[in-house]
Structure 1
Amino acid sequence: MSATPAPPEFAPADAAALPLWLVRPGAEGADLPAGIGELAQNWARAQGFAGKPGQLCLLPDANGAIAGALYGIGTRDSTPRERWLLAKAAETLPAGDWRLAAIPEGVDATLGALGWLLAQYRFARYKAAEAPAARLVAPAGIDAKRVIAMAAGEFLARDLINTPASDMGPEDLERAARALAERHGATISVIRGEELLTQNFPMIHAVGRAGAQAPRLIDLRFPGEGPALTLVGKGVCFDTGGLDIKPAASMGLMKKDMGGAANVLGLAEMLARLGQTRNMRLRVLIPAVENAIGGNAFRPGDILTSRKGLTVEVNNTDAEGRLVLADALALAEEEAPALLVSMATLTGAARVALGPDLPPLFCDDDGLAAQLHQAGLAQADPLWRLPFWAPYESMIEPGIADLDNAPGGGFAGAITAALFLRRFAGQARHYLHLDIYGWQPSAAPGRPKGGAGQGMRALLAALPELLQ
C-alpha cells in the first residue's frame, strides 16, 4: 500500500460551494437563520433539528437536490467539550464543496477549518481507506496557509506514530528525517552504532545496542538567522522494557514510544512550511533506538557515564527514554540555545495524573509557562503545568552514582523524570519539557484512534514570545 496522501487543501475560493449554516439551540428548538427561507425552516423543524452539537440537517431545493445544510454547534457552554467543531461535519456531509454561510459569534473559524482538515486523515499504508469527500472553502479572514501547515505537521506525526516498528525502526525514522530535510533545505548528520561511543554518546549506545538496527543520533539544522531553538524528541522506535521486560498488555502500544520524535518532526514541518525557520536557528535532535532484549542489552544495576559526565545507576531498563534524551540534551546545551524543548512519551505517571489528552508541561519560567498554557488553550492543544519540584531532587540521587534513572516508591514519576532531564539541559537560556502520550485511545471527531500530535500547535503559536 502507498503511504497516506498529502494533507488536503481547501476548496478553491471560486468554487460553486453549497452553504453550511452553523446553528445554536434557541428557546424553542434551533435558532434557525432567516436567510434559509420559510420552507427550509419548516423542513428543519419537521426533521427535529434542534442545533445540538454535531446534528446535521440537509436542506433540499424545489427539485429535491441538496441546497445547503444546517449543522448544530450547541450552546456556548457545550462548545468547549467539542474540540473540533467542524470535524464531524466534514465526516458526515455528502461529497462536494461547502462554504460557511455565516460564522456565529464565539466560533473560532480557524479552529473550525483546522478541524475540517484533520477529519480528512486516514492511515492508508496497509489498507485502503477513503477520506471524507466534503471540501471546505477557507472561511474569510483565516490564514489558510497556516491552517494547512498545522494539518501537514499533524498528519506527519500521526503517520510516523501509526507505523509499526517493522517499518519504523531507527533506520526508517532516519529516512523520515532525511525526507523532511530534503523538502525544506535542511542539513542532516547521523551518528550510528559504535560511532556513538567514539563521539561520546554512551547512553544512547547502551540503550540501543541490543536492537536489530543500530542506535543513532539524528541531527537536523535548518537555514536561518536569529535566536537558537533546539527541539529534542525521544525516538524509541519500540520499547520491550529491556531486561525489565514489560508485560504483553503494556508492550502492545510501544510502537508509539517514538512519539516525541514524531512530534518534533511535525513541528519542524509546520515551521518550515510557514517560513518561520528563516527567523531562527532551528535544530532538531532525535536519539533513535530500539530498547530490545539480547545478550548485549544493558542491565539493571549497570552504572552508565553520560555525555555530560554524570553517572547514572540503571535501576530499571524500562526507564530508558530519559537516558537517550540525556545525551541528546547534553549535546544541545553545549550551544546554549535560547530555548531548548524536549518532547517524549516518557512516563505512565503523567497519564495517571492528567489522562491521555493533557500532557504535563515543565518550565522554570512562570511567564513562559503561562504563555504556552494560554497558547495551548487557544489552539485546542492543551497543556497543564507541573513543577520542577526541587525538594524531589534527592529522589533521583541513588548514593553510588550521581543519578538514578528509576527512583523507587512510586511517587511523582513524571516530576522525577523531568528533574532528571533538567540536569542535562542547564546551559540553555530556557528549558521546556513536554511529557506527551502521542496517542488517541478512542476515535473522536477529527481525532481517529491512533497516533496523535500534542503540543505542536501550542508551541507554534507561542514561539514568537518564547524566543524573545
Structure 2
Amino acid sequence: MPFPKAVLETSTTGLTDNYDAFILLSNTFSSQFYSDLSGAIQLHQRLDKRVGEQAVLIPNQSVPGNRVIHVPSGALDRDYDDVRQIFDAAKNVAQTLIDSGIRKPLLEVNLHGLNAPMQATYVNAIEAAFLGLCQGLWQPLEARQALGENEVEPLQELGILHSDPDFDVSRLNAIEAGKRVARDLCGTEPERMAPPGFADYCLEAFKDSNVEVSVISDHEAILKDYPLLHAVARASIEVERHRPRIIRMVYQGEGEINKTLLFAGKGITFDTGGADLKVNGHMAGMSRDKGGAAGVAGFMKTVSLLAPKGLKVIVEIGAVRNSIGAEAFIPDEIITSHAGIRVRVGNTDAEGRMLLADLLSHLREDAKDAVNPELFSVATLTGHAAIAFGPYTALVENKPARALGVAKSLFEQGELCADPVEPSLSRREDFNFVKPRTKADDVLSSNNAPSVTTVRGHQFPMAFLSIASGLDQHEANSTLPLPYTHVDIAGSGVENLDWQHGKPTAAPVNVFVNTYL
C-alpha cells in the first residue's frame, strides 16, 4: 500500500543528495531554512508572472535537486479562510510533481504575518499539507493493480522540514494509511469490491495487527441476527459473489479502558435503488455508496497504527449489494428489526438506514456494558445532506450526545484538520415523520420521495435509526442514556460531489482521529 511516507528533517545539512526537489508552501516567498530563497523567487517573478499566483517550478542551486516549487497558499486571513487553503494548495501541486519527474521531494510549510487567532487556525498546517498532497497523488486500486503501483504513484518518500525534533511524522503516516484504506474501499468498482471483496480487503488490511476482525458470511445467520440488512440483500443472495457480509472489528487499547467508541458503517457496494429503481442515469456512481463503511474501516486502521491506550473501538460494517430481482424487498413490507421493532418499508432506495439499524442494535448491546460509550452511524445516506451542507459532513445527535458535546468537539477539530463538519439537530418533527400510520407497524423507514425534495430529509433518518435500533430506549431521561450521533457523508465523501468520477475524500477519518486520538 504505497504512499509517500513522511520523514522528519530538522536541518538542511546533508540533504542535497537525499531529495530531488524542494517544495515551499507559503503565503510569502521566504523560507526558514534557505535564507536566500526569497530573493531568488522574487527575481524569477519578474520573468514569470505566475509566481505567487500558482505553483511554479524554479531552478535554484541552493536547494535539493537544484529546483524549488513555490506553492502559494493564497489569502489566509479572511473570515472564511481555514486550513483547507493549505490542504488544497498541496493537493493541486501533486500532478506537477509527477509531471516534473520529482520522486523524493522535501517540503517546508512556512506561514507569515498571522495574528494569534489565525496561527491557531493553522496549527495543523503541516498535517494538512501532507494529507492534501497524498490526496492528490492517490490513484484507484484498479489502476495500481493494472499498471503497477510504482508506475501510477511514483512518489515513495516526502521529507518534512521542521525545526521541532519532536514533531510526530509517524502520526501523519498513520492518518494517511487510514485514509488510503477508506479511499480504496470506497473508490473501487462494484465487482472487485462486492461484499466478499470488501471483507477480504479488511481482513488483509488488519492481518497480524492489534485489531480483531471477524466476518459473518452465512446468509441464514444474517437473516436471523440482521433481518433488516438481510432484506436489503435478499435479491443478491442468488449471486454468490454478491452475497452480504457482516464485518466486525474490535480494538482494545492497553491499560484501563476509559472510553469506548462504537461505529456502524453503511457498506452498500452497489445501490440500484432496489424495487424503487434509480433511473435517468442516477445509478452511476452508486458503487461509492459504501463510503461510510470505508470511512470507519479507515479510522480503525489509524487506530491500529497509533495504538492509543485506554481506548476501545468496536466497528460493525454491513457490506451489502442492493440488487433488483424477483427476491428484492419492496415498499409496504413490514420487517422486524434485530431490536424487535416492526419496520414498514417506505422506499427501497432508503436501504442504508435499514442495515444501519440492525448494526446499531448490536452495538447498543455492546454499549450497555461499555465504559463511557459513544455510538455513531456513518453513511452516504441522503442527497439532502449534500444539498443542505454541500461538501461538509452532516452530524445529527441525540440529547445524550449533545449534552456530552460530541458534535461540538467534532466541529472544532474538523475546522483545524481540513475535514469539516456541520452540526444539525434532531427535532420532534423528525420523529413524527416516521411514526406508524397504523398498529401494523412501529416505524416507517422513509417516505416515497427523494430526500432532496423532502423537508428535513437528512435529519429524520436519525429518528428512524434511533427507533428501529432500540436506541430511543436510551434517551436522556432513561436509566442508561447512550450518546448517539448520525454522520452523513453524502456531501463530503467524494471530491466536488462527483460520485461517479470524483476521488473519495476519506471523510470523516481525520476529524475522528483528531477528536479522539
Aligned to 2:336: 305
Q: CA deviation at 1:57?
A: 4.0
Q: CA deviation at 1:370?
A: 1.0
Aligned to 1:194: 220
Cα gap change, 1:421 to 1:333, in 2 (>3 Å) = same
- Provide the rounded CA distance (Å) in 2 between the counterparts of 1:40 and 1:317: 59
Letter in 2 for 1:66: N
Asked if 1:440 corresponds to 2:457, the answer is no
Contact 1:193 1:209 in 2 (8 A): no
Asked if 1:242 corresponds to 2:264, the answer is no
Letter in 1 for 2:419: D
Cα gap change, 1:150 to 1:315, in 2 (>3 Å) = same
Aligned to 1:116: 133
Asked if 1:264 corresponds to 2:296, the answer is yes
Letter in 1 for 2:91: A
- Provide the rounded CA distance (Å) in 2 between the counterparts of 1:459 and 1:243: 35
Aligned to 2:395: 361
Aligned to 1:430: 483
Asked if 1:98 corresponds to 2:101, the answer is no
Asked if 1:280 corresponds to 2:302, the answer is no
- Provide the rounded CA distance (Å) in 2 between the counterparts of 1:229 and 1:405: 26
Q: CA deviation at 1:352?
A: 1.5
Residue of structure 1 aligned with 2:248, choices 204, 210, 219: 219
Query: Cα deviation per residue 1:402-455 (whole Å; 9 max; x = unaligned)?
Result: 111112572211111111112223446311111112222479xxxx82322111
Q: CA deviation at 1:71?
A: 2.6
- Provide the rounded CA distance (Å) in 1 between the counterparts of 2:94 and 2:352: 38
Aligned to 1:231: 263
Question: For 1:368-387, what aligned pairs fall within 5 Å after superposition?
Answer: 368-387=406-425
- Provide the rounded CA distance (Å) in 2 between the counterparts of 1:307 and 1:134: 46
Q: CA deviation at 1:161?
A: 1.4
Aligned to 2:2: 6
- Provide the rounded CA distance (Å) in 2 between the counterparts of 1:183 and 1:10: 23
Residue of structure 1 aligned with 2:503, choices 427, 450, 457: 450
Cα gap change, 1:185 to 1:37, in 2 (>3 Å) = closer
- Provide the rounded CA distance (Å) in 2 between the counterparts of 1:320 and 1:442: 21
Contact 1:90 1:134 in 2 (8 A): no
Residue of structure 2 aligned with 1:143, choices 164, 168, 181: 168
Query: Cα deviation per residue 1:280-311 (whole Å; 9 max; x = unaligned)?
Result: 22111011211111222212110011111111
Query: Cα deviation per residue 1:211-264 (whole Å; 9 max; x = unaligned)?
Result: 023223222222335122211100111111111111151111110111111110
Q: Secondary structure at the match of 2:339?
A: coil
Asked if 1:167 corresponds to 2:202, the answer is no
Aligned to 2:447: 407
Contact 1:6 1:152 in 2 (8 A): no
Letter in 2 for 1:397: K
Cα gap change, 1:291 to 1:385, in 2 (>3 Å) = same
Aligned to 2:364: 333
Contact 1:99 1:139 in 2 (8 A): yes
Cα gap change, 1:291 to 1:21, in 2 (>3 Å) = closer
Q: Secondary structure at the match of 2:206?
A: helix
- Provide the rounded CA distance (Å) in 2 between the counterparts of 1:441 and 1:182: 34
- Provide the rounded CA distance (Å) in 1 between the counterparts of 2:137 and 2:288: 21
Cα gap change, 1:172 to 1:40, in 2 (>3 Å) = closer
Q: CA deviation at 1:130?
A: 2.1
Letter in 2 for 1:372: L
Contact 1:119 1:132 in 2 (8 A): no
Q: Secondary structure at the match of 2:36?
A: helix
Cα gap change, 1:312 to 1:77, in 2 (>3 Å) = same
Letter in 2 for 1:103: N
Q: Secondary structure at the match of 1:209?
A: helix
Q: What TM-score does the superposition give when structure 2 sets the normalisation length?
A: 0.79
Q: CA deviation at 1:67?
A: 4.2
Question: For 1:35-184, what aligned pairs fall within 5 Å after superposition?
Answer: 35-36=36-37, 38=39, 41-52=42-53, 54-61=54-61, 66-77=66-77, 80=82, 82=85, 83-93=87-97, 94=100, 95-100=102-107, 103-105=110-112, 106=119, 108-126=125-143, 127-128=146-147, 130-131=152-153, 133=155, 135-140=157-162, 141=164, 142-184=167-209
Cα gap change, 1:206 to 1:37, in 2 (>3 Å) = closer
Contact 2:274 2:348 in 1 (8 A): yes
Letter in 1 for 2:515: A
Greater Cα shift, 414-423 or 104-113:
104-113
Q: Secondary structure at the match of 1:284?
A: strand
Q: Structure 1: 5+ residue runs without aligned partners?
A: none
- Provide the rounded CA distance (Å) in 1 between the counterparts of 2:448 and 2:262: 32
Cα gap change, 1:72 to 1:252, in 2 (>3 Å) = same
Cα gap change, 1:303 to 1:111, in 2 (>3 Å) = same
Letter in 2 for 1:92: T
Query: Cα deviation per residue 1:68-105 (whole Å; 9 max; x = unaligned)?
Result: 34332222247636343323334324315433456223
Q: Secondary structure at the match of 1:282?
A: strand
Cα gap change, 1:206 to 1:50, in 2 (>3 Å) = same
Contact 1:116 1:136 in 2 (8 A): no
Cα gap change, 1:175 to 1:102, in 2 (>3 Å) = closer
- Provide the rounded CA distance (Å) in 1 between the counterparts of 2:395 and 2:427: 13
Residue of structure 2 aligned with 1:24, choices 1, 15, 27: 27
- Identical-pair percentage: 27
Contact 2:347 2:448 in 1 (8 A): no
Q: Secondary structure at the match of 1:295?
A: coil
- Provide the rounded CA distance (Å) in 2 between the counterparts of 1:60 and 1:15: 15
Aligned to 2:478: none
Aligned to 2:116: none
Q: Secondary structure at the match of 2:160?
A: coil
Q: Secondary structure at the match of 1:210?
A: helix
Contact 1:236 1:290 in 2 (8 A): yes
Q: Secondary structure at the match of 1:450?
A: coil
Aligned to 1:344: 379
Aligned to 1:292: 323
Q: What TM-score does the superposition give when structure 1 sets the normalisation length?
A: 0.87
Aligned to 2:230: 205
Cα gap change, 1:102 to 1:124, in 2 (>3 Å) = closer
- Provide the rounded CA distance (Å) in 2 between the counterparts of 1:134 and 1:41: 31
Greater Cα shift, 311-320 or 71-80:
71-80
- Provide the rounded CA distance (Å) in 1 between the counterparts of 2:25 and 2:312: 42
Contact 1:110 1:143 in 2 (8 A): no
